[in-house]
Amino acid sequence: MSGGRALRDRVLVALAVLIVWQVAALVCGPHWISPPLMTARRFGQLALNGELARHALYTLAAAAGGFVVGGVPGAVLPFALRRAPRLAAILDPYLVAGYGMPKLALAPLFILWFGIGLASKMALVASIAFFLIFFSTAAGVRGTDVRLVAMARVAGASEQAVARHVVWPSAVPYVFAGLKISLSYAIGAAVVGELISSNRGLGYLIQAGANDFDTTTVFAALTALTLLIVGLNALVEAAERRLLRWRPVDAQPARRLVTAA
Amino acid sequence: MSEGAVLLEVRGLGRRFEPRADRGEAVFAIRDLSFDVREQEFLTIVGPSGSGKSTLLNLIAQIDAPTEGEIRFRGRPIAAATAGALRPGWDRQFGYVTQDDTLLPWRTLIENVLFPLRVQGRLSAQTRDRASELMSTVGLEGFERYYPHELSGGMRKRAALIRTLVYDPPVILMDEPFGALDAQTRTQLQADLLRLWNLGRKTIVFVTHDIAEAIALGDRTLVFTRAPARVQSEHRIPIARPRDVRTIYGVDGFAETYERIRKELQ
Domain ranges of chain B: 101-168
Look over chain A and give the mean of its residue pLDDT values, rounded to a whole number. 91
Q: Given a cut of 70, is residue A252 above it in pLDDT?
A: no
For chain B positions 30-69, those within 8 Å of chain A (CB to CB) are: 61-63
Residues A204 and A56: their CA atoms lie apart, in Å, by 10
Sheet holding B76-80, edge to edge: B27-38, B6-17, B68-73, B76-80
Q: Does B121 touch chain A (CB under 8 A)?
A: no
DSSP B18: P
Cβ pair B89:A246 closer than 8 A: no
Backbone angles phi, psi at B72, to 5 degrees: -115, 140
Q: Does B149 touch chain A (CB under 8 A)?
A: yes
Contacts of B149 in chain A (CB under 8 A): 248
3-state helix, strand, coil in chain A (%, to 5): 85, 0, 15
Cβ pair B163:A153 closer than 8 A: no
- Which member of A153, A161, A169 has the closest CB to residue B88? A153
Q: Smallest CA–CA separation between A168 and chain B, in Å? A: 11
Say how many CB pairs under 8 Å bridge A and B.
66
Per-residue pLDDT of chain B (266 residues; tens, 9 = 90+): 446 899 999 999 999 998 877 777 888 999 999 999 999 999 999 998 878 899 999 999 999 999 999 999 999 988 887 767 888 988 899 999 998 889 999 999 999 999 999 999 999 999 999 999 999 988 999 999 999 999 999 999 999 999 999 999 999 999 999 988 899 999 999 999 999 998 888 999 999 999 999 999 999 999 999 889 899 999 999 999 889 999 999 999 999 999 999 999 88
Check residue A58 and give its pLDDT: 95
Q: Establish whether the linkage from the previous residue to B228 is cis, with ω within 30° of 0.
A: yes
Where residue A257 falls among pLDDT bands split at 50, 70, 90?
very low
DSSP B243: -
Check residue B49 and give its pLDDT: 82
Residues B15 and B38: their CA atoms lie apart, in Å, by 23
Residues A246 and B115: their CA atoms lie apart, in Å, by 16
Q: Does B115 touch chain A (CB under 8 A)?
A: yes
Backbone angles phi, psi at B43, to 5 degrees: -100, 130
Residues B66 and B59: their CA atoms lie apart, in Å, by 6
User: Which of A1-10, A238-247, B16-25 is predicted most confidently?
Assistant: A238-247
Cβ pair B61:A158 closer than 8 A: no
Q: Smallest CA–CA separation between A206 and chain B, in Å? A: 45
Q: Given a cut of 50, is residue A126 above it in pLDDT?
A: yes
Question: Please, which residues have CB within 8 angstroms of residue B174's CB and are 6 or more apart in sequence?
Answer: B57, B96, B97, B204, B205, B206, B207
Max intra-chain CA distance, chain B = 56
Cβ pair B102:A248 closer than 8 A: no
Query: pLDDT tens-digit profile of B185-236?
Result: 999 999 999 999 988 889 999 999 999 999 999 999 999 998 898 999 999 9
Cβ pair B115:A165 closer than 8 A: yes
DSSP A213: T
Q: Given a cut of 70, is residue A251 above it in pLDDT?
A: no
Mean pLDDT of A58-74: 95
Interface of A with B (CB under 8 A): 145, 147-148, 150-158, 161, 165-166, 169, 244, 246-248
Question: Please, which residues have CB within 8 angstroms of residue A61's CB and are 6 or more apart in sequence?
Answer: A118
